[in-house]
Amino acid sequence: MLDFPRWKKIFLWAITLVAIAAALPSITSLSGLKWPSSLPDPEVNLGLDLAGGSHILLEADPAEVAATRLEKLEEQVRDALRRNEPRIAIGDISTRGNRLTFMLEDPSMVDAAREAILPFTDGAGTVRDWNIEVVDGSRFILTPTEAGLENAIQTAMESATDVVRRRIDGLGTREPTIIRQGDTRIVVQVPGLGDPEALKELLGKTAALEFKLVVREASQDEVLSGLAAEGQVFPYAESAGLPGGVVVERLGGISGETLTEAQQSFDAQDNSPVVDITFDPDGARKFSRMTTQNTGERFAIILDDEVISAPVMREPIRGGRSQISGGFTVESANQLAIQLQSGALPVALEVVEERTVGPDLGADSIRKGMLAMGVGSLLVVVLMIATYGRFGVYATAALVLNVGMILGIMAVMNTTLTLPGIAGFVLTIGAAVDANVLINERIREERKRGRRVVAAVENGYKEASRAIYDANITNFIAGMLLFLFGSGPIRGFAVVLIIGLFTSVFTAVTLTRMWVAGWLRKKRPSELHV
């Protein structure tokens, strides 16, 4: 009990002081004081409910997933039949009625055609994506299965959630909450961001980038109807400052999926904001081939079904690097770069709910939470000292250090404090007080049994520690489950709870034991007032 070597004391004090030092910037911030800018400032992030910020709810349209899937299948089927040896010629092809139909020019090629398109109709595992039916001896009908469509929606939403997370990370915002809600919704909460319009602008765009060959300019009527005999019709974006739109080749071209890098830059000639893009090797090869084979032709840069610009390819563009210009501001170019860098959304997301949480509500919560903690802690201190004397003073000191260590560890780990996190704080303080009460009561019992002072203290700590460890292991398991399966504020509560379990055991058991051992060695008391 009394054996606490010097190295061990230095080690324990070092841990304590480092954690407390890491907590000081957060303590000054929460108290409204200014922390010197010349010193490091690991600070606890405040969640949306404490710092204020933006909350939006995004929703995807399953019908769009089905349409995109059907369009992709058409291109895959065309490409597979064209590449087949011998080539399989087809006549009419249609995507009406949410199914793909086409007719073979040579009915004897039915088996070969089925074999060629089979890889695109099989889904993952035992789930089939498309049913294949052949009617009239040469007409294929590909119908989506319900299981395949559900699987596609789930995959699209998982991918969309990742893209949203990457876009938010691109803002440099710390600790956003991005969670799925139901099958087709995503909740986004960004603490500290008070401009929901900027968030909507960033997340509301699909960022589907395409490079397609221009057939000709489209008339206003064609733009309004969206129909042209030669290909697809896309309108000019507002930033392009041009009326009407263009007709582009319906299939082929290059998609933004082959981009590896996108960043805002400035044009070398007129210093206007642009976005520099870099393709991966496959995209660079396709881009080089397209610009080489079509030098002198125009190609349209299409973003989210709008033409940003349609320049003439004056010379082959090799090396996989290009530039997107189109009347950008620095902010819009930077936003586009973030969108392209994070990838295109696999499905368009519509904002169905938005709100801004003001910081005043959070400040009021912090003030009331601090008041509750202060009043509660004062009552606990008075009760502990009145009940256990010197041992109550040790418990109080451990309690104060416990709060500081929790804040310090949270700051170092860059975690977020939410309103439920404050509840976790209060809970861990209660657990720390319980631990000290348990230890002191066990020491009392040992003295009543007639044990000597040192033996009573040693047995008291030994017996109480077992119960404390058992209780905290149980709480740790519960905290881990909340962290793994919870989200948002529940995770915030779990993080504070788990950190608090370690610090409360450390301060209530280890530190107080070191202090009591030092006092016993120095004073050698014959009686304990506990």
State which residues form the domain around 349. 54-60+151-355
CA geometry: angle at 42 spanning 40 and 45, to 5°?
145
530 found inside a domain: no
Domain-terminating residue out of 355, 373, 395? 355
As a whole number of angstroms, the distance between CA 202 and CA 207 comes to: 9
81 contacts 120 by C-beta, under 8 angstroms: no
Domain containing 99 — which CATH number?
Answer: 3.30.1360
pLDDT value at residue 398: 92
Going residue by residue through the chain, which has 530 residues, state the pLDDT in tens, using 9 for 90 and above.
557 788 999 999 999 999 999 988 888 876 667 777 777 777 777 777 777 788 888 898 888 888 888 888 888 888 888 888 888 888 878 888 889 998 888 888 888 888 888 888 876 666 778 888 988 888 899 998 888 888 888 888 888 888 888 888 777 665 677 888 888 899 888 877 767 777 777 777 777 788 888 888 888 888 887 777 778 888 888 777 778 888 888 777 777 778 788 888 888 777 788 888 888 888 888 888 888 888 888 888 888 788 887 877 777 777 778 777 767 788 778 777 877 777 778 788 888 888 777 666 666 766 777 777 778 778 888 888 998 889 999 999 998 899 899 989 998 887 878 888 888 888 888 888 888 899 999 999 988 888 888 889 988 998 899 889 988 899 899 999 988 887 667 888 898 899 999 999 999 999 999 999 999 888 888 787 77
CA geometry: angle at 230 spanning 226 and 235, to 5°?
35
pLDDT value at residue 45: 76
Domain-terminating residue out of 99, 115, 142? 142
CA geometry: angle at 96 spanning 93 and 102, to 5°?
20
pLDDT value at residue 105: 87
The encoded tokens of residue 458 equal 């040693």
Same domain, 331 and 384: no
Same domain, 170 and 297: yes
Same domain, 370 and 470: yes
pLDDT value at residue 125: 63
Same domain, 131 and 211: no
Same domain, 305 and 396: no
Same domain, 295 and 370: no
pTM tops 0.95, yes or no:
no
Same domain, 187 and 237: yes
Q: Please report the DSSP string for 337-373 in residue order.
A: HHHHHH---SS-EEEEEEEEE-HHHHHHHHHHHHHHH
Same domain, 122 and 205: no
Domain containing 47 — which CATH number?
Answer: 1.20.1640.10
1 found inside a domain: no
pLDDT value at residue 525: 82
Same domain, 87 and 165: no
Same domain, 276 and 321: yes
Rounded to whole angstroms, the maximal C-alpha distance in the chain is: 107
- The residues, ordered by sequence, that sit 6+ positions from 397 with a Cβ below 8 Å of its Cβ are 511, 512, 515
Number of domains in the chain: 3
233 found inside a domain: yes
86 found inside a domain: yes
Question: DSSP label at 38?
Answer: T
511 found inside a domain: yes
User: Nearest CA to 64 among 153, 167, 183?
Assistant: 153
pLDDT value at residue 172: 67
As a whole number of angstroms, the distance between CA 429 and CA 427 comes to: 5
As a whole number of angstroms, the distance between CA 307 and CA 310 comes to: 7
Same domain, 422 and 448: yes
421 found inside a domain: yes
528 found inside a domain: no
Q: Which helix (H) or strand (E) holds 517?
A: helix 512-523
pLDDT value at residue 211: 84
pLDDT value at residue 16: 93
Domain-terminating residue out of 142, 175, 210? 142
81 found inside a domain: yes
The neighbouring-strand residues paired with 247 are 216, 233
pLDDT value at residue 124: 62
Same domain, 384 and 503: yes
pLDDT value at residue 255: 77
Domain containing 214 — which CATH number?
Answer: 3.30.1360.200
